[in-house]
């Protein structure tokens, strides 16, 4: 059949490194159709069956983000890691899953149902003034705000500060599917991730600067030795003079983490104070266990750089990050999200393509009325 000949030609050119984008897509579709029975590998002139598998695996290895575990891959036993990498070729991203079981292969192709169209998040937030008045903000809305103005994706306060003696507190809140940045009256800059809020004074008139955070934010603090900067979050307080760091403190996560990028901070709870150096992370879990460890800084601040990056992350944690950004509710069937995932892809990636990667990695998802439902099969 013509389809088989097209596939044969595409595989041959793929193996020789001469395939067009369309031919690579055809080979990946064929490769991604592998399931639970051995595949009949089409003969390719000049290549044995072992060479075909070896060369495909070699090509796929080039695009896989560093996996958590690597094991030798045999010709007729391909890991889900390789399958996920295959779709990564099409999407221009890296994706891999810790393999939990082997796969055998056959040539049948299955078509997944098309998910509901869901757009990635964007720059949007609501500013709640001291009197509770809400002000909608986004890239295109530039409302008149006393002492501040919207500049692109940032709310920027006048660094001259409040000329009155009255201290007012505003709260910047991002919804699910939103992010925004605020430049505080002292020049400190705060990036808010989705489903987060920051409460702050419209001027820093005391001998300290204190803000309150829920959710996640990245801070770049303007140095002022005479006015230390504090972030109050859950049961922790972070003290800094001038530094950059990330705090993740979502209520549905199992711990609050502070990751230091530059400078130094003191992280305090009711029982102890920990001093962080660049590249370290303080973690306080719900059992009040307080630890300091080396951090994966790149993964911790990836959201601020416009991407997702998971390096051996718990699947459930990764799914919660995705649902916050794509404005979905998460429903996980018992036992359906066990294991760890490694992935890197832009936050502008369509949800459809994200779901394809998850599906090919053994994470079965469907969208129903803005719910991401994860099932065993």
Token pair for 334: 């018992």
Q: How many domains does the chain have?
A: 1
316/318 Cα distance (integer angstroms): 5
pLDDT at residue number 331: 94
Q: So what's the pLDDT on residue 52?
A: 61
Query: 79 lies in a domain?
Result: yes
What is the rounded distance in angstroms from the CA atom of residue 307 to the CA atom of residue 212? 25
Are 87 and 357 within 8 A, CB to CB?
A: yes
pLDDT per position as a tens digit, 362-376: 888 889 889 999 988
Please state, as a whole number, how many other Cβ atoms lie within 10 Å of the Cβ of residue 369: 8
Rounded Cα distance between 354 and 363, Å, is 11
pLDDT of residue 243: 94
What span, in angstroms and rounded, lies between the C-alpha atoms of 32 and 41?
14
Identify the bridge partners of residue 240 per DSSP, sorted by sequence position. Answer: 229, 265
Q: Let me know if residue 48 belongs to a domain.
A: yes
The answer to whether residue 143 sits within a structural domain is no
Residues of the domain holding 46? 2-97
* Domain-embedded: residue 267: no
Residue 357 confidence (pLDDT): 83
Q: Could you give the residue ranges of the DSSP H alpha helices within 18-79?
A: 21-32, 49-61
* Domain contains 29: yes
Residue-level pLDDT at 358:
84
Inside any domain, residue 192: no
Separation of alpha carbons 126 and 67, rounded Å: 39
The Cα 137–Cα 340 span in angstroms is 36
Residue 274 falls within a domain, yes or no? Answer: no
Alpha-carbon distance values, 182 to 166, 189, 208 (Å): 21, 6, 19
Rg (CA), the chain: 25
- The per-residue pLDDT for range 317-374, each reduced to its tens digit, is 999 999 999 999 999 988 887 888 888 899 999 998 898 888 877 888 889 889 999 9
Q: Concatenated DSSP letters for 307-340?
A: EEEEEEEEHHHHHHHHHHHTT-EEEE-TTSS-SE
18 domain-assigned: yes
- pLDDT value of residue 157: 94
List of the chain residues with pLDDT < 70: 1-8, 12-17, 21-23, 25-116, 160-165, 377
Pairing outcome for strands 122-128 and 244-249: unpaired
50-99, pLDDT tens digit by residue? 666 566 555 544 433 333 333 333 333 333 344 344 434 334 444 444 43
């Amino acid at each position: 059949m013509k389809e088989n000949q097209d596939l044969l030609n595409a595989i041959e050119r793929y193996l020789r490194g001469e395939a067009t984008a369309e031919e690579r897509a055809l080979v990946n579709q064929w490769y991604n159709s592998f399931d639970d029975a051995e595949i009949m590998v089409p003969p390719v002139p000049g290549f044995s069956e072992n060479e075909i598998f070896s060369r495909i695996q070699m090509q796929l290895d080039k695009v896989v983000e560093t996996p958590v575990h690597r094991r030798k891959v045999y010709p007729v036993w391909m890991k889900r890691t390789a399958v996920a990498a295959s779709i990564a070729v099409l999407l221009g991203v890296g994706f891999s899953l810790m393999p939990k079981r082997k796969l055998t292969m056959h040539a049948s192709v299955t078509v997944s149902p098309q998910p509901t169209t869901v757009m990635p998040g964007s720059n949007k937030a609501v500013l709640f003034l001291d009197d509770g008045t809400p002000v909608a903000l986004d890239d295109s809305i530039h409302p008149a705000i006393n002492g501040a103005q919207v500049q692109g994706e940032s709310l920027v306060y006048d660094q001259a500060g409040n000329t009155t003696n009255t201290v007012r507190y505003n709260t910047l809140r991002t919804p699910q599917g939103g992010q925004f940045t605020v430049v505080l009256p002292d020049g400190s800059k705060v990036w808010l991730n989705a489903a987060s809020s920051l409460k702050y004074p419209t001027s820093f008139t005391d001998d300290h600067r204190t803000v309150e955070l829920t959710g996640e934010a990245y801070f770049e603090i303007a140095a002022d030795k005479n006015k230390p900067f504090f972030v109050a979050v859950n049961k922790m307080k972070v003290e800094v003079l001038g530094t950059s760091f990330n705090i993740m403190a979502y209520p549905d996560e199992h711990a609050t983490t502070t990751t230091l990028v530059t400078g130094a901070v003191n992280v305090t709870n009711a029982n102890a104070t920990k001093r962080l150096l660049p590249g370290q992370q303080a973690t306080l879990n719900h059992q009040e266990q307080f630890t300091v460890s080396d951090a994966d800084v790149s993964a911790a601040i990836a959201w601020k750089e416009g991407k997702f990056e998971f390096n051996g992350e718990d699947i459930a944690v990764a799914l919660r990050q995705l649902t916050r950004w794509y404005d979905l509710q998460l429903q996980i069937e018992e036992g359906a999200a066990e294991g760890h995932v490694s992935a890197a892809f832009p936050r502008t990636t369509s949800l459809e393509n994200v779901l394809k990667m998850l599906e090919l990695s053994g994470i079965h998802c469907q969208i129903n009325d803005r719910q991401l439902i994860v099932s065993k099969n």
